Amino acid sequence: MNCVSENNLRAYHDAELSPVQGAEIEAHLARCAECAKRLGEIAATAARVEKQLVSLGAASAETKIDAQAALSRFKSQQGAPVETMPSKSDFVTHETNVPAKRWRPLWIGAVAATILLCSLAFPFGRGLAQRLLGTLRVEKVQPVRLDFSALDGNRPLQEMLRQMISDKVVVTADEKPQPASTAADASQLAGFSAHMLGVRTDTPKFIVGGQHAFHMTIDRTRLQDIFDQAGRADLLLPATLDGANVSVNVPRSIMVEYGDCPESHPAGAAQTGPAQAHSGAWANCLALQEVPSPLVNMPSDLNLQQLAEIGFQLAGMSATQARSLGQVIDWKSTLVLPIPRFASSYSQVTVNGVQGTLIEGSGRRGPDYVLVWVKNGIIYGLVGHGDSSNAVALANSLN
């Protein structure tokens, strides 16, 4: 017998040969020092590499895997029975390329995330009446990549949320937006001074957004049901959450619109259809939104970080990633700004001496952007179309 091939030596080492082949090689190895040496080398290398790979561990040894539960979660994450699961392209078409509408979820998302994070994080006892309330006030913005896409199209989940809001949330203020003819009028209506972009000489339109306020009592069981429906039964809300009272007050805001903008851009642009998004429209449109920090009252001994971590996990982060991020955010003063899925990039910039976040997107009509920053208790959002390189300069011209 000639010397054994490397392939067969390795297969012999792994007991992957037939008994006859194995016996032949064994006999050869007994009289061939060279092959025996080569087998020793192959075995030693295999053992060293195996030792390294073993360090990656075995999931089954540490994690109980329930395939049926995973299948249920998989189906619910797709938001429909697998028979009618949408394709990724279906998801994309939901994100209309009308810039105003596309950015709208940013604000909704930011507020929703704030409410979610604030309203979920109450590891306190039931004696709420004796507790002092703590107040959150936004001083800065923290951009975070969150992905709630797994919840998109989950109709039972949406219905549960809608029902819970209907049952539990008591709205105490829900004002409609109203136009103002001048900056002075807008300031008087809103209760704070409107700022404008110094570099724009055209006359802007002013819209004063209404005040919105509500309070709610947390029903931990219903919230947990919602988490279960979202496929995250593994995320357990603290039992002490039950019965906690939260109140949220979003003050009046001012929208300053420059140029040719879509109707009620961006606040009312949800009604704007893609058909109106013809090329060239709104090229000189700039919208500056100004809103004083929403106030969120809640028991002062809450553990916001703990609940924020749960919220992050709901948005697709691993427990460890959520913990790592939760630890670096000052939850008493930071607005978590979810970065939309369609955003192509985001970066930290300096605006008027404070840190801001520039988020860029790309739609059918070309690039658009939103720049968000907080200064002196006011949250600013500048939405523009086209090149974002002058966004900071525009924002710095605020007067």
Partner 1 sequence: MNEGSRVGEFETLFVKHYPRIIGILWRIVGDHGRAEDLASEVFLKLYRRPLAQEPEANVGGWLYRTATNLGIDALRAMARRSRFEQAAGQNAGQHKPAENGFERVARFERAHRVRTVLAELKPAQAQLLLQRASGDSYKELSVALEIEPGSVGTLLVRAEAAFEQRYRELFGSVEDV
Residue 318 CB, nearest approach to partner 1 (Å)? 3
Nearer to partner 1, 73 or 195 (CB): 73
Residue 53 makes CB contacts below 8 A (sequence gap 6+) with none
Cβ proximity of 385 and 261 under 8 Å: no
Residue 313 CB, nearest approach to partner 1 (Å)? 7
Nearer to partner 1, 150 or 196 (CB): 150
Beta strand pairing call for 286-292 and 178-180: unpaired
Residue 185 CB, nearest approach to partner 1 (Å)? 46
Nearer to partner 1, 141 or 208 (CB): 141
Nearer to partner 1, 77 or 253 (CB): 77
Site residues (vs partner 1, CB under 8 A): 5-11, 14, 16, 42, 45-46, 48-50, 52-60, 62-63, 65, 67-68, 70-71, 74, 77-78, 81-83, 85, 87, 313, 316-321, 324-325, 328
Nearer to partner 1, 293 or 313 (CB): 313
Q: How far apart are alpha carbons 100 and 95 in whole angstroms?
A: 11
Nearer to partner 1, 57 or 191 (CB): 57
Distances (CA, A) of 145 to 322, 341, 380: 11, 8, 20
Count other C-beta atoms under 10 Å from residue 24's C-beta.
16
Cβ proximity of 9 and 39 under 8 Å: yes
The token pair that represents 66 in the structure block: 């329930």
Residue 54 CB, nearest approach to partner 1 (Å)? 7
> Among residues 143, 180, 347, 337, which one has the least CA distance to residue 254?
180
The token pair that represents 253 in the structure block: 């805001």
If you count DSSP H runs as helices and E runs as strands, how many of each does the chain have, helices first?
13, 15
Nearer to partner 1, 56 or 129 (CB): 56
Residue 347 CB, nearest approach to partner 1 (Å)? 13
Residue 50 CB, nearest approach to partner 1 (Å)? 7
Cβ proximity of 25 and 2 under 8 Å: no
Residue 49 CB, nearest approach to partner 1 (Å)? 4
DSSP 134-166: EEEE--EEEEEE---GGGTT-HHHHHHHHHHHH
Q: How far apart are alpha carbons 159 and 188 in whole angstroms?
A: 39
Type of residue found at 198:
G
Nearer to partner 1, 203 or 324 (CB): 324
Residue 188 CB, nearest approach to partner 1 (Å)? 45
